[in-house]
Structure 1
Amino acid sequence: MKTAVLVIDVQRGLCDDPPRPHEAGEVIERINALTVRARAAGAPVAFVQHENAVDLEFDSERWQLADALQVDAADTRIRKTTPDSFLRTPLEAWLMGQGVRRVVVCGYSSEFCVDTTVRRAAALGYEVVLAADAHTSHDKPHATGAFIRAHHNATLSDITSFGVRISAVDSAKIALGD
């Protein structure tokens, strides 16, 4: 089954600016290792970038991908304006054009854009692998970033009603390629 890696919102204004999200540096290292393996296996990689008129204006310094991310010229970039990486974007058409039926999701923010993209991908019939150690969030008054990640790993992988598998797997253990 052809797989693509989706890196969600790992941008300077969200991941590099202080305070940084939980394990931001380690998460970016895991994403880099995952995308290097994906490219070597022939799996396409897409970087999804959120934008808004308030603090993530298109092409602004804060909108750019995080400094430590390793991006290849062959990688795809997708712009979005909602937590859903599919809504009003070319993501689904790109996946279909690549023959993808399985997506690996990683990035920022576990409880918003990562969660929404995982659910939407499953609703569209894609098998989803959540890179369990390669998504993150900022600490909130009600929960730490570590707890938010653990919670989403448990709850998303427990959803069966979409009719496709959603699993949460450590990034180094994710099988890539066809």
Structure 2
Amino acid sequence: MTTALVVIDVQSALFDPAPRPADADAVLARIAALAASARAAHVPVLWVHHEQAGSPLARHSPGWALAAGLEAAPQDTVIHKTTPDSFLRTDLGERLAERGVRELVVCGYASEFCVDTTVRSAAGRGFAVRLVADAHTTHDKPHASGAQIRAHENATLPAIRSFGVSIAAVPADAVRWTTPPAA
């Protein structure tokens, strides 16, 4: 099965201002390591950027850029989105189909919004999903801390069986890449 790494919304405007997302520095370090190991295994890396005109997330603004410590490599793909669903009104599905991808390794921001929605949308499209349990995050909310929200998503998403594909939550250090066959 061909795999791709999908990194959602790890952008400066979401990670730099205080208060920062839960466990922000450790999550960013894990994402950087995942991207490097994916590239080393010739696994596609896709960076999904949320954007909204007239906001700190306006395309190509400083806030739209990847958070400190992250960098897209020339062979990586950038996807532009305007909703919590990384597939809706984007070319993510087409980019994955071009590469024959059938499994996604997903990480990023925000656990309960864009990560959750994208995982569900991917499963609905027939992709197996490995949610990197310690490489997604969100901000604290009045009803729950960012850590509690992440734990909730890590427990809830793998419990969904109705899509007919596997959704698993795995720690970053357990991610092993399925290397695509040689062309």
Q: CA deviation at 1:70?
A: 3.3
Residue in structure 1 matched with residue 83 of structure 2 by the alignment:
82
Residue in structure 2 matched with residue 132 of structure 1 by the alignment:
133
Aligned CA RMSD, in angstroms, stands at 0.8
**Residues 1:46 and 2:46 aligned together:** yes
TM alignment of 1:29-44, pairs within 5 A: 29-44=29-44
Distance in structure 2 (CA, Å) of the matches to 1:70 and 1:158:
33
Distance in structure 2 (CA, Å) of the matches to 1:16 and 1:158:
33
TM alignment of 1:87-126, pairs within 5 A: 87-126=88-127
Distance in structure 2 (CA, Å) of the matches to 1:125 and 1:175:
20
Q: CA deviation at 1:71?
A: 2.3
Superposition TM-score, scaled by structure 2 size: 0.95
Distance in structure 2 (CA, Å) of the matches to 1:157 and 1:177:
20
Amino acid paired to 2:75: A
**Is 1:42–1:177's contact at 8 Å kept on the other side of the alignment?**
no
Q: CA deviation at 1:177?
A: 2.1
Q: CA deviation at 1:57?
A: 1.1
Q: Percent identity?
A: 57
Once structures 1 and 2 are overlaid, which stretch shifts more, 46-55 or 97-106? 46-55
Q: How many residues align?
A: 178
Q: CA deviation at 1:101?
A: 0.3
Cα shift readout 1:56-86 (whole Å, capped 9, x = no counterpart): 1111111111121132111100000000000
Superposition TM-score, scaled by structure 1 size: 0.98
Which stretches of structure 1, 4 residues or more, deviate above 3 A after TM superposition? none
**Is 1:85–1:113's contact at 8 Å kept on the other side of the alignment?**
yes
Q: Report the secondary structure of 1:157's partner residue.
A: helix
Q: Report the secondary structure of 1:101's partner residue.
A: strand
Q: Which runs of 5+ in 2 are unaligned?
A: none
Distance in structure 1 (CA, Å) of the matches to 2:141 and 2:69:
24
Q: CA deviation at 1:43?
A: 0.6
Cα shift readout 1:117-170 (whole Å, capped 9, x = no counterpart): 000000000000000000000000000000000000000011000000000000
Q: Which runs of 5+ in 1 are unaligned?
A: none
Residue in structure 2 matched with residue 149 of structure 1 by the alignment:
150
Distance in structure 2 (CA, Å) of the matches to 1:83 and 1:151:
18
